[in-house]
């Protein structure tokens, strides 16, 4: 009889920090201590705290162990599972070790820890709870009950009405009302219609969709079948990038299991409704996340966008009426059907209902995955759930929406995050990447980084995007090299607007956003680069110079030893109170690598 469950995270984050070896060690030790009949080992999807991986949770106590090494496992099995003593040194703490260990003893649920307390896990409810490779565990969590309800009790019109009334909006970034999308597709007559799931998650730093696919793949299958029923489609495709191998593998296992149970295929629940699903792998081009390019790619052609109209609701995949939604959007559907419109609309703000999943990254303590109700302030996300900025640095800005989005500066940290608030400050929700930047980030350099990305990823079909983004990048490059002029900033702005207005698809239309929003909030930094030839954050190498304070230098010579280009030499000046002669940097030779600065223990080296 099983009395305890050991949940080991098998998401990509924890897998890369070696959770497979931890799992293996658990199997061996549970066996060795004769606990195989009493303790069940479960591989789950992402718990969200990727920075602290590999993560292990032991139930029924709900003890949360972080950064578990294979060598720690024997102790956990012997102490916790056999003797019932929490291994305190491994217990996750976010408020100071003592408090949380006490909590673990008092059986305060994990949901009360600072990281989870303000979260509301709707989409991620099964991630880190069930084994994604076991359809029965999903069913135990009310899985496929929504599909059953829809097929036996509801008409397609009723389903669309529920989705419309819930106010659910597309979680891929655009925020188009999902119910309206379905309602526009349903009445169109055709011999075949399609449901497509956009799992081509391409924003740098975003991994919400991957985590859902890895942690709860059946949820997506169920939602797509519900959509198929609502719009009259019998075939679905999930377009997922090939560089998500764990997600692809688990989704395929889930599809096979659903077929075996008859939850995909012919005559589901005896209702006469047929639906099947296939995976299509993308090669990882960013543009394929754009809906028309994605469909072109599924059709077997080069992933290029096509002009709209006609919209996919009329002529989508293979020129048939098609609904395309993002993974997270679909993941909301079964819950909305089961728990009702009122429950869903009780979360969020006036025009943005429900929750949003964010992938926290950059300069933040709790790198990972969080799900919060719409309307939560950026401050709460970053400083409470995210644990703040490491190293006591100051928060400077957060980038949402990746290369298509914009930045939110520190002055607007109390902004309530929802679709409309973000748009009103020149930003966008995006798919959920949230990159946190501290005072050491140069905003011009950051805009340049995203432009490099879009230049690489532009498909080249239309000129404004193909040529325009490259010209933008060239101007940014010039500015970061200290060769820019004030006219360049004006030119930059003008070109941004031109590209936005004239590009064919979303990629080009949004590519200038990182430039525009940094110009809006951090124009003084651009001016500092151009007029003063300085990079205030100390990032742009061409604008930096390193120097040694000859009176602080004790003459140890470490910097000279570290310097890869021999730019540092001894002088004949001995500072008062010191025994050895100080050193100096030949700025002509210096390549500004910073090795001297990093090595100096006496604070004698500065960069300006």
Partner 1 sequence: MKSLAELQAIRDRMKDKVILREGANQVRVVVGMATCGIAAGARPVLNAFVEAISAEGLTDKVTVSQTGCIGICQYEPVVEIYEPGKEKTTYVKMTAEKVAAVVEKHLKGGNVVTEFTVSNME
Interacting residue ranges for partner 1, rule: CB under 8 A: 1-5, 7, 37-38, 40, 59-62, 82-85, 107, 109-111, 129-130, 136-137, 139-142, 144-145, 148, 152, 261-263, 267-270
Contact by Cβ (8 Å): 517, 403: no
Is the torsion defined by CA of 45, 50, 55, 58 positive or negative? negative
Residue 558 beta carbon to partner 1: minimum distance, rounded to whole angstroms: 51
Q: Shortest CA distance to 206 belongs to which of 237, 244, 253?
A: 244
Q: Given strand 355-362, what is the order of strands in its sheet?
A: 368-373, 355-362, 433-438, 395-400, 406-409
Left (φ > 0), alpha (ψ -120 to 50) or beta: where does 269 sit? left
> Rounded to 5 degrees, what are φ and ψ at 596?
-65, -45
Pick the closer one to partner 1 by CB: 109 or 310. 109
Residue 335 beta carbon to partner 1: minimum distance, rounded to whole angstroms: 16
Pick the closer one to partner 1 by CB: 95 or 152. 152
Q: Shortest CA distance to 476 belongs to which of 501, 425, 436, 511?
A: 511
Residue 380 beta carbon to partner 1: minimum distance, rounded to whole angstroms: 24
Residue 129 beta carbon to partner 1: minimum distance, rounded to whole angstroms: 6
Q: Shortest CA distance to 547 belongs to which of 557, 539, 559?
A: 559
Q: How far is residue 451 CA from its own chain's centroid?
A: 19
Task: Tokens 């991630």: give the residue.
Answer: 127
Task: Tokens 């702005």: give the residue.
Answer: 493
Pick the closer one to partner 1 by CB: 88 or 477. 88
Contact by Cβ (8 Å): 459, 304: yes
Contact by Cβ (8 Å): 213, 15: no
DSSP string for residues in 232-274 = T--EEEEEEETT-HHHHHHHHHHHHHHHHTTSSEEEETTTTEE
Residue 99 beta carbon to partner 1: minimum distance, rounded to whole angstroms: 18
Q: Which residues pair with 399 in a beta bridge?
A: 407, 435
Looking only at the bridges linking them, the beta strands covering 194-199 and 235-241 are parallel
Pick the closer one to partner 1 by CB: 229 or 358. 229
Pick the closer one to partner 1 by CB: 66 or 513. 66
Pick the closer one to partner 1 by CB: 16 or 155. 155
Pick the closer one to partner 1 by CB: 141 or 314. 141
Residue 139 beta carbon to partner 1: minimum distance, rounded to whole angstroms: 5
Q: Shortest CA distance to 67 belongs to which of 54, 80, 51, 86?
A: 54
Residue 105 beta carbon to partner 1: minimum distance, rounded to whole angstroms: 9
Q: Name, in order, each residue with C-beta under 8 angstroms of 466's C-beta and a sequence gap of 6 or more.
A: 458, 459, 460
3-state helix, strand, coil in the chain (%, to 5): 45, 15, 40
Pick the closer one to partner 1 by CB: 40 or 592. 40
Residue 60 beta carbon to partner 1: minimum distance, rounded to whole angstroms: 4
Pick the closer one to partner 1 by CB: 80 or 353. 80
Residue 128 beta carbon to partner 1: minimum distance, rounded to whole angstroms: 9
DSSP type of residue 110: G
Residue 277 beta carbon to partner 1: minimum distance, rounded to whole angstroms: 15
Residue 268 beta carbon to partner 1: minimum distance, rounded to whole angstroms: 7
Contact by Cβ (8 Å): 56, 76: yes
> Rounded to 5 degrees, what are φ and ψ at 285?
-80, 130
Residues 241, 250: Cα–Cα separation, whole Å: 14
Q: Shortest CA distance to 564 belongs to which of 537, 519, 599, 515?
A: 599
Residue 154 beta carbon to partner 1: minimum distance, rounded to whole angstroms: 13
Residues 299, 301: Cα–Cα separation, whole Å: 6
Pick the closer one to partner 1 by CB: 61 or 276. 61
Residue 274 beta carbon to partner 1: minimum distance, rounded to whole angstroms: 13
Pick the closer one to partner 1 by CB: 151 or 227. 151
Pick the closer one to partner 1 by CB: 44 or 431. 44
Q: Shortest CA distance to 12 belongs to which of 369, 406, 448, 470?
A: 369
Burial of 237-274, coded b for 16+ CB within 10 Å and e otherwise, reads bbbbbeebebbbebbebbbebbeeeebbeeebeeeebb
Q: Name, in order, each residue with C-beta under 8 angstroms of 588's C-beta and a sequence gap of 6 or more.
A: none
Residues 486, 530: Cα–Cα separation, whole Å: 7
Pick the closer one to partner 1 by CB: 152 or 301. 152
Residue 40 beta carbon to partner 1: minimum distance, rounded to whole angstroms: 8
Residue 14 beta carbon to partner 1: minimum distance, rounded to whole angstroms: 17
Q: Shortest CA distance to 38 belongs to which of 79, 82, 101?
A: 82
Pick the closer one to partner 1 by CB: 255 or 407. 255
Pick the closer one to partner 1 by CB: 7 or 168. 7
């Amino acid at each position: 009889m099983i009395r305890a469950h050991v949940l080991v995270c098998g998401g990509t984050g924890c897998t890369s920090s070696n959770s497979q070896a931890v799992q293996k060690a658990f199997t061996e030790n549970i066996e060795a201590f004769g606990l195989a009949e009493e303790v069940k080992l479960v591989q789950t999807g992402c718990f969200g705290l990727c920075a602290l991986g590999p993560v292990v949770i032991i139930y029924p106590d709900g003890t949360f162990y972080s950064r578990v090494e294979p060598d720690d496992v024997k102790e956990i099995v012997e102490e916790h599972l056999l003797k019932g003593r929490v291994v305190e040194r491994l217990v996750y703490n976010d408020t100071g070790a003592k408090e949380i260990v006490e909590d673990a003893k008092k059986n305060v649920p994990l949901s009360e820890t600072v990281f989870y307390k303000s979260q509301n896990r709707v989409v991620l409810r099964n991630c880190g709870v069930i084994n994604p490779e076991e359809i029965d565990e999903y069913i135990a969590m009310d899985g496929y009950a929504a599909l059953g309800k829809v097929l036996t009790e509801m008409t397609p019109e009723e389903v669309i009405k529920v989705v419309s009334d819930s106010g659910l909006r597309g979680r891929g970034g655009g925020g188009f009302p999902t119910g309206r999308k379905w309602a526009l597709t349903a009445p169109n007559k055709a011999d075949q219609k399609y449901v497509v799931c956009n799992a081509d998650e391409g924003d740098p730093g975003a991994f919400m969709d991957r985590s859902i696919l890895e942690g709860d793949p059946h949820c997506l299958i169920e939602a797509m079948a519900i959509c198929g029923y609502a719009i009259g489609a019998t075939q679905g495709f999930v377009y997922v990038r090939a560089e998500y191998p764990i997600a692809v593998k688990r989704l395929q296992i889930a599809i096979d299991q659903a077929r075996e149970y008859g939850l995909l295929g012919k005559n589901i629940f005896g209702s006469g409704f047929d639906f099947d699903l296939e995976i299509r792998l993308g090669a990882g081009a960013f543009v394929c996340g754009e809906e028309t390019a994605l469909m072109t790619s599924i059709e077997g052609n080069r992933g290029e966008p096509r002009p709209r109209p006609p919209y996919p609701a009329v002529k989508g995949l293979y020129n048939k009426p098609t609904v395309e939604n993002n993974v997270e959007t679909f993941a909301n559907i079964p819950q909305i059907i089961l728990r009702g419109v009122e429950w869903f609309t009780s979360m969020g703000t006036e025009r943005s209902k429900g929750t949003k999943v964010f992938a926290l990254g950059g300069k933040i303590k709790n790198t990972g995955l969080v799900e919060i109700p719409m309307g939560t302030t950026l401050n709460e996300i970053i400083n409470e759930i995210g644990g703040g900025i490491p190293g006591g640095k100051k928060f400077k800005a957060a980038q949402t929406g990746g290369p298509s989005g914009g930045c939110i500066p520190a002055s607007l940290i109390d902004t309530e995050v929802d679709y409309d608030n973000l748009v009103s400050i020149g930003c966008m929700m995006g798919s959920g990447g949230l990159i946190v930047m501290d005072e050491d980030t140069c905003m011009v350099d950051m805009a340049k980084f995203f432009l490099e990305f879009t230049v690489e990823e532009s498909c080249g079909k239309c000129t404004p995007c193909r040529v325009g983004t490259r010209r933008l990048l060239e101007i940014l490059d010039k500015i970061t090299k200290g060769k820019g002029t004030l006219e360049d900033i004006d030119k930059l702005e003008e070109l941004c607007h031109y590209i936005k207005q004239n590009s064919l698809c979303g990629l080009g239309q949004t590519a200038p956003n990182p430039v525009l929003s940094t110009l809006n909030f951090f124009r003084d930094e651009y001016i500092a680069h151009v007029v003063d030839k300085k990079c205030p954050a100390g990032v742009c190498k061409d604008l930096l110079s390193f120097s040694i304070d000859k009176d602080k230098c004790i003459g140890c010579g470490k910097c000279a030893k570290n310097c890869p280009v021999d730019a540092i030499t001894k002088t004949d000046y001995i500072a008062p109170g010191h025994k050895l002669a100080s050193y100096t940097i030949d700025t002509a030779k210096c390549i500004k690598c910073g090795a001297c600065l990093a090595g100096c223990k006496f604070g004698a080296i500065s960069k300006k």
